[in-house]
């Protein structure tokens, strides 16, 4: 696996695919610089080697149109401030203007290209568009994990034009290693904690990881499909009736593979799906009519804690309750605390995919786990066992 450390960028131009798809407020100010900060080490390494950096990214969904509100010019100043280097901007990402700006770039300088998705060719993975992008640099660096599952021109196709001069940036390399650690090289026992709303959105992940884990903790809305399938009364809890057979199948396969499955035994049930709803703790199999389970209960947490603290490798995807409402956030917060404890004792913990990352941020767990993945969809597809085109394109000779 070639990373940026395998190259010396002295006098070279790095064409770097970054993920600067950052949130902007109504005055076009960047409200969260996490993604820019995440790309910083890669960009600085290129400059410190004596090279220059051409940065390309998308912003929002302009769908092939030049939408001024989605111009990357809005973020130029913020990128300069985060990187500590004045960043140049060019109002195109291909064509004569972009080529001229790239050609004039000197060692130590950074050029930010205009939004790639102003061209529909980007998302189509157009070969000619990718060729034009490739003319802007000597070495292609992909550091955008969030788009690595897309076969777009700048994330995948462009790599074909750099048969021997292409590599992963630090951020992407870290993501790949973290996933490897959980899926292949992690110390046992390996525990996966899966939550979130639906079985249907997690089923491919479960299928793929059953071979790799020792414990499967199930929480969140998914719980009730499993409980109902086993004959429990779940009241009005969220349930996918058409996935009940699948749930039983999962339990059977897990048993055959020697994976211990841990489902909640008690839950905090509410009279309505509302922040101020009446609540009561009940047995997960005896949820009263018209009540719904919205968080895991204390007895469940005792068991989950024991399993997590005994794990050496932990994957967490999806909250175990409706954490957006304070009343139902306790289980998710506690899971974060147990993972923190396990990590302190030397376990490797990876949190990734969609809402678990917002939960981690909301409760300040990002520094308490080993790794928080930044790529929602890309992370989920990796856990599902898919080969991401953006990663394959760098690995291919």
Kindly list the catalytic residues.
Answer: 35, 198, 354, 377
Residue 258: which region, alpha, beta or left (left: phi > 0; alpha: psi -120 to 50)?
Answer: left
Closest distance between ligand AMP and the C-beta of residue 274, in Å? 12
Q: Where are the beta strands (DSSP E) in the chain?
A: 13-17, 52-56, 87-90, 110-113, 139-142, 166-168, 190-194, 215-218, 233-234, 260-262, 266-270, 279-283, 286-287, 292-296, 313-317, 348-351, 371-372
Which residue, 358 or 387, is less far from ligand AMP as judged by CB? 358
Q: Are 94 and 129 in contact (CB under 8 A)?
A: yes
Contact mark string toward ligand AMP, 347..386, x via CB under 6 A: -------xx-------------------------------
Contact mark string toward ligand AMP, 235..264, x via CB under 6 A: ---x--------------------------
Does 318 participate in binding ligand AMP (rule CB under 6 A)?
yes
Of 62, 146, 196, 297, which lies in the binding site for ligand AMP, with binding defined by CB under 6 A?
Answer: 196
Of the ranges 58-66, 248-256, 315-323, 381-389, which one interacts with ligand AMP (CB under 6 A)?
Answer: 315-323
Residue nearest to ligand AMP (CB): 196
Site residues (CB under 6 A) for ligand AMP, limited to 277-306: 293-294
Q: Are 35 and 374 in contact (CB under 8 A)?
A: yes
Which residue, 123 or 236, is less far from ligand AMP as judged by CB? 236
Q: Are 1 and 395 in contact (CB under 8 A)?
A: yes
Does 14 participate in binding ligand AMP (rule CB under 6 A)?
no
Q: DSSP character for 368?
A: T
Of the ranges 10-18, 226-234, 297-305, 318-326, which one interacts with ligand AMP (CB under 6 A)?
Answer: 318-326
Residue 96 CA neighbour count, 13 Å, CB half: 0
Does 271 participate in binding ligand AMP (rule CB under 6 A)?
no
Of the ranges 5-13, 178-186, 247-255, 321-329, which one interacts with ligand AMP (CB under 6 A)?
Answer: 321-329
User: Could you tell me the two tokens for 235?
Assistant: 């009241």
Measured CA distances, 11 to 7, 53, 107, 179 (Å): 12, 11, 6, 34
Closest distance between ligand AMP and the C-beta of residue 290, in Å? 15
Which residue, 139 or 234, is less far from ligand AMP as judged by CB? 234
Of 4, 322, 333, 391, which lies in the binding site for ligand AMP, with binding defined by CB under 6 A?
Answer: 322
Does 186 participate in binding ligand AMP (rule CB under 6 A)?
no
Of the ranges 149-157, 181-189, 195-203, 275-283, which one interacts with ligand AMP (CB under 6 A)?
Answer: 195-203
Query: Can you say whether the dihedral through the CA atoms of 257, 262, 265, 266 is positive or negative?
Result: negative
Sole residue written with tokens 């600085």: 44
| Cis upstream peptide for 189 (omega within 30°) | yes
Contact mark string toward ligand AMP, 145..184, x via CB under 6 A: ----------------------------------------
Measured CA distances, 194 to 47, 203, 216, 348 (Å): 41, 10, 7, 17
Q: b vs e for 327-338, b when ≥16 Cβ sit within 10 Å of the residue's Cβ?
A: bbbbbbbbbbbb
Interacting residues with ligand AMP (CB under 6 A):
195-198, 201, 220-221, 238, 293-294, 318-319, 321-322, 324, 354-355
């Amino acid at each position: 696996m070639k990373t940026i450390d395998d190259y010396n960028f002295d006098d070279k131009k790095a064409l770097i695919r970054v993920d600067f798809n950052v949130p902007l407020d109504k005055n076009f100010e960047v409200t969260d610089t996490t993604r820019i900060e995440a790309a910083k080490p890669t960009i600085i390494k290129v400059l410190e080697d004596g090279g220059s950096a051409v940065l390309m990214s998308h912003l929002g969904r302009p769908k092939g149109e030049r939408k001024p509100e989605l111009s990357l010019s809005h973020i130029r100043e913020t990128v300069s401030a985060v990187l500590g280097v004045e960043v140049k901007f060019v109002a195109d990402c291909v064509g004569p203007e972009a080529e001229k700006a790239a050609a004039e770039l000197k060692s130590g300088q950074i050029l930010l290209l205009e939004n790639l998705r102003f061209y529909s060719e980007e998302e189509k993975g157009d070969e000619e568009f990718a060729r034009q992008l490739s003319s802007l640099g000597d070495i292609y660096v992909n550091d955008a994990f969030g788009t690595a599952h897309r076969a777009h021109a700048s994330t995948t196709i462009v790599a074909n034009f750099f048969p021997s001069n292409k590599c992963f940036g630090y951020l992407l390399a870290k993501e790949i290693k973290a996933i490897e650690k959980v899926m292949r090289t992690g110390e046992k026992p390996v525990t996966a904690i899966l939550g979130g709303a639906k079985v249907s959105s997690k089923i491919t992940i479960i299928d793929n990881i059953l071979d790799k884990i020792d414990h499967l903790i199930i929480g969140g809305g998914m719980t009730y499909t499993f409980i109902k399938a086993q004959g429990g009364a779940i009241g009005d809890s969220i349930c996918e009736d058409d996935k009940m057979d699948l749930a039983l199948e999962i339990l059977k396969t897990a048993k055959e593979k020697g994976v211990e499955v841990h489902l909640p035994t008690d839950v905090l049930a509410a009279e309505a799906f509302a922040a101020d709803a009446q609540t009561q703790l009940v047995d997960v199999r005896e949820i009263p009519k018209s009540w719904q389970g919205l968080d895991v209960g204390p007895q469940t947490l005792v068991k989950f804690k024991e399993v997590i603290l005994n794990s050496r490798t932990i994957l967490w995807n999806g909250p175990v309750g409706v954490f957006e409402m304070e009343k139902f956030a306790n289980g998710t917060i506690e899971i974060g605390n147990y993972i923190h404890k396990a990590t302190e004792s030397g376990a490797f913990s990876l949190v990734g995919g969609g809402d678990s990352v917002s939960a981690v941020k909301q409760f300040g767990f990002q520094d308490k786990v080993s790794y928080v993945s930044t790529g929602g969809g890309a992370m989920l597809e990796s856990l599902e066992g898919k080969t991401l085109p953006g990663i394959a394109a760098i690995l291919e000779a």
